[in-house]
Amino acid sequence: MDIDIKRLATLAKLQLTDEEMEMLARQLPDILAYVSKLQEVDTSGVDAKAYLTDAVNVLREDVITSSREERDAVIAAFPKQVGGAMEVPGVFAA
Amino acid sequence: MNTNWTVKSIRDSVNGGSVTALSIVDEALRRIEEKDGEIGAFLEVFATDARKAAKEVDARHAKGEVDLPLAGVPIALKDNMLVMGHIASAGSKMLADYRASYTATVVTRLQAAGAIIIGRTNMDEFAFGSSTESSAFHVTKNPRDTSKVPGGTSGGSAAAVAAGMIPAALGSDTGGSIRQPSSLCGVVGMKPTYGRVSRYGLIADGSSLDQIGPIATTVEDVAIVLSIIEGKDSHDATSVVLDDLTSENVSSDLAGVRIGVPKEYFIDGMDEDVAARIHEAIETLKKGGAEIVNMSLPLAPYALPAFYIIQPAEASSNLARFDGMRYGNRGEGAIEESYRSARGAGLGAEAKRRIMLGTFILSAGYYDAFYKKAIAVRAAMKMEFDAALKKVDVIVGPVSPIAAWGIGEKMDDPVSMYLADVFTVSANILGIPGISVPCGTAHGLPVGLQILGKSFDDNRVLQVAAAFEALHNAS
């Protein structure tokens, strides 16, 4: 199977070294060949959904249950912040 | 096994007033200090907080709370469960300094029951692996033979219990990550039914597969811990209200119990000694009064390929949040470059492999052939197992086709590592409960018997496990 590792890494937003790309180019086809065994199974007529529980539309009251302490801890975990807001690089090019 | 170092005996002693929770915690810390240098089960020991929590349990005892179900019991957490203010790294450099901003529901429930959170244990990064060697921090050794892996991904939790450092730990099981290390280390580990235990505060791997469960030295201890952590939680929409709660008084009666033995669970290439122990275990169950039903599950061999499509697809989606914005280390440069460099620097080889695999599987042109096909096979497997489990109460077989292997042996061959999960993934694909119970040794290393049951019939799985444990210990 032909896999464009570079394009895939771009889609996955993953920086890879040349060695990593070389290794993945070798290993991914092996793994995909193994999982392709599934093609042997006839699934025509199978309803291709598999729900593990009978739960549908699990709803809860729309009330805030977390504490101020939790909110502060979330902010404290940001790698960069300004005045309690997360600081990020510009999203739109100037 | 050390009979006074079980969940039940510690809980009873603390409730009875013959020992304090603090003395139990000090003993656990002493054992960890003595043994963990060699084993490497822990990433961090919460000594200060554990002593403080023990004093609180002793204070509760003094005020008349003398029937706490886990009074003074030291329990370790796999490093993917959150305790507010403590680091939870999921075995990844990406989260090496991440401090949890809230506490997992399982932890809140353990603490309310009087348990003491003693520390966090080593794991394969983001729970990808089968040996705990994919941890970004260190290698954990199998206490039964320190040249061998402990299994994974909850290898630290299983090793800490197997080495006698602590009586119980929590693990998480996405494709066998509780049962397989329990088997390889010779302890009891259970993956409950999907929906039985809340995953709120568990760092997600494969969301349709993940389940938290206990690891301990006896079936009874596993049942005690499960009875505390299970139940509906409004923070996890997949958790359900249980009709049939876990009882810590596990029946070990086998009369009238029908046990299915699928021929697909004995494969070519399986270790002969492992197969022999499983056949002996089945004979033991038969002598104990169970009816053995030989059966066939033709789709069982497709569980592993289906798993290695569904799991990477879900995990690559779940790991999208680790982009250096909200957690971990910020990458360099403009936004796209920042994402890429944060992920490139923070993630290890197996995590990158699963992300790439999942991204490929979900990409345009391949989605139908891989992901959609795997979901269809999952649905077909569910029908096949549901039909089989109408004829029997449980299904038994091996947990792992081989005993613990040498450290480093499979690290360069991902497919061979993935094959270690061949018998465990079905339970996750189907959401059913499964347990590993020690059933002897192969080449001097522990072998685990796997017992799988119907959805939410966890009590039946525990019952057969307890019966086998009693018969095996008596033989």
Q: Is residue B203 part of a domain?
A: yes
- pLDDT tier, A94 (very low <50, low <70, confident <90, very high otherwise): low
CA B120 from centroid of its chain's CA atoms: 14
In this complex, how many residue pairs, one in chain A and one in chain B, have their CB atoms less than 8 Å apart? 171
Distance CA B374, CA A7 (A): 24
Q: Is residue A56 part of a domain?
A: no
In tens, the pLDDT along A68-90 reads 999 999 999 999 999 989 999 99
Q: Is residue A26 part of a domain?
A: yes
Residues of chain A with Cβ-Cβ distance to B336 below 8 Å are 13
Most B CBs within 10 A among A26, A41, A58, hence the mutation to make, goes to: A41
Q: Is residue B315 part of a domain?
A: no
Name the residue facing B234 among A8, A27, A60 (closest C-beta): A60
Domain that holds residue A31: 16-41
pLDDT tens over chain B, length 475 residues: 456 899 999 999 999 999 999 999 999 999 999 999 999 999 999 999 999 999 999 999 999 999 999 999 999 999 999 999 999 999 999 999 999 999 999 999 999 999 999 999 999 999 999 999 999 999 999 999 999 999 999 999 999 999 999 999 999 999 999 999 999 999 999 999 999 999 999 999 999 999 999 999 999 999 999 999 999 999 999 999 999 999 999 998 999 999 999 999 998 889 999 999 999 999 999 999 999 999 999 999 999 999 999 999 999 999 999 999 998 889 999 999 999 999 999 999 999 999 999 999 999 899 999 999 999 999 999 999 999 999 999 999 999 999 999 999 998 888 888 888 999 999 999 999 999 999 999 999 999 999 999 999 999 999 999 999 999 999 8
Closest residue of chain B to A31, computed from CA coordinates = B415
Closest residue of chain A to B95, computed from CA coordinates = A77
Report the greatest alpha carbon distance in chain A: 58
- Residue B297 near residue B384 (C-beta atoms within 8 A): yes
Q: Is residue A58 part of a domain?
A: no
For the four alpha carbons of B399, B404, B407 and B408, in that order, the dihedral sign comes to negative
Q: Is residue B119 part of a domain?
A: yes
- Residue that has been written with the tokens 């399986």 in this structure: B270
Name the residue facing B299 among A41, A90, A93 (closest C-beta): A41
Would you call B360 and A8 a contact, using CB atoms and an 8 Å cutoff? Answer: yes
Name the residue facing A9 among B330, B356, B374 (closest C-beta): B356
Q: In what order do the strands lie in the sheet with B188-191?
A: B42-45, B116-121, B74-78, B168-173, B211-216, B188-191, B434-442, B445-453, B394-398, B258-262, B291-295
Q: Which pLDDT does position B3 carry in this prediction?
A: 60
Would you call A49 and B375 a contact, using CB atoms and an 8 Å cutoff? Answer: yes
Q: Is residue B184 part of a domain?
A: yes
Residues of chain A with Cβ-Cβ distance to B364 below 8 Å are none
Provide the shortest C-alpha distance from residue A35 to chain B (in Å): 4
**Which amino acid, one-letter code, is at B280?**
E
Closest residue of chain A to B209, computed from CA coordinates = A52
Q: Is residue B38 part of a domain?
A: yes
Would you call A12 and B359 a contact, using CB atoms and an 8 Å cutoff? Answer: yes
At CB < 8 A and 24+ separation, what contacts does B384-387 make?
Answer: B384/B297, B384/B298, B384/B299, B385/B297, B385/B426, B385/B430, B385/B432
Q: Is residue B391 part of a domain?
A: no
Q: Parallel, antiparallel, or unpaired for β B42-45 and B116-121?
A: antiparallel
Residues of chain B with Cβ-Cβ distance to A77 below 8 Å are 98-99, 101, 326-327
Would you call B99 and A77 a contact, using CB atoms and an 8 Å cutoff? Answer: yes
Would you tell me which residues 22-81 of chain A have a C-beta closer than 8 angstroms to some C-beta of chain B? 23-24, 27-28, 30-32, 34-41, 43, 46-50, 52-53, 55, 58, 60, 66, 69-70, 73-74, 76-80
Q: Is residue A50 part of a domain?
A: no
Would you call B340 and A14 a contact, using CB atoms and an 8 Å cutoff? Answer: yes
Q: Is residue A68 part of a domain?
A: no
Query: Would you state the structure tokens that stand for residue B340, as one six-digit string?
Result: 């890429």
Would you call A31 and B238 a contact, using CB atoms and an 8 Å cutoff? Answer: no
Q: CATH code at B217?
A: 3.90.1300.10
Would you call A31 and B98 a contact, using CB atoms and an 8 Å cutoff? Answer: no
Ordered alpha helix ranges (H), B63-103: none
Residue B469 φ/ψ, nearest 5 degrees: -55, -45
- Residue B46 near residue B76 (C-beta atoms within 8 A): no
Query: Would you state the structure tokens that stand for residue B34, as one six-digit string?
Result: 């003595």
Q: Is residue A21 part of a domain?
A: yes
**CB distance from A16 to chain B under 8 Å?**
yes
Q: Which of B21, B28, B94, B8 shows the shortest CA–CA distance to B52?
A: B21
Asked if pLDDT for residue A12 goes beyond 80, the answer is yes
Q: Within a 10 A sphere around the Cβ of A79, how many other Cβ atoms?
A: 18
Q: Which pLDDT does position B269 carry in this prediction?
A: 83
Q: Is residue B284 part of a domain?
A: no
Residues of chain A with Cβ-Cβ distance to B359 below 8 Å are 8, 11-12
Would you call B380 and A41 a contact, using CB atoms and an 8 Å cutoff? Answer: yes
- pLDDT tier, A53 (very low <50, low <70, confident <90, very high otherwise): confident
- pLDDT tier, A56 (very low <50, low <70, confident <90, very high otherwise): confident
Q: Within a 10 A sphere around the Cβ of B408, how many other Cβ atoms?
A: 12
Number of domains in chain A: 1
Which secondary-structure segment (H or E) carries B442? strand B434-442
Name the residue facing B363 among A5, A11, A55 (closest C-beta): A11
Residues of chain A with Cβ-Cβ distance to B370 below 8 Å are 32, 35, 38
Would you call B101 and A74 a contact, using CB atoms and an 8 Å cutoff? Answer: yes
Q: Is residue A36 part of a domain?
A: yes
Domain that holds residue B182: 7-229
* E-state strands within B187-299: 188-191, 211-216, 258-262, 291-295
Number of domains in chain B: 1
- Residue that has been written with the tokens 């201890």 in this structure: B221
Provide the shortest C-alpha distance from residue A21 to chain B (in Å): 10
Residue A51 burial (CB < 10 Å; 0-12/13-18/19+)? exposed
Q: For residue B392, give the 3-state DSSP assignment.
A: coil
Q: Is residue A33 part of a domain?
A: yes
Asked if pLDDT for residue A66 goes beyond 60, the answer is yes
Please report the DSSP string for B128-164 in residue order.
--SSSTT-SS-PPPBTTBTTB---SSSHHHHHHHHTT
Q: Which pLDDT does position B2 carry in this prediction?
A: 52
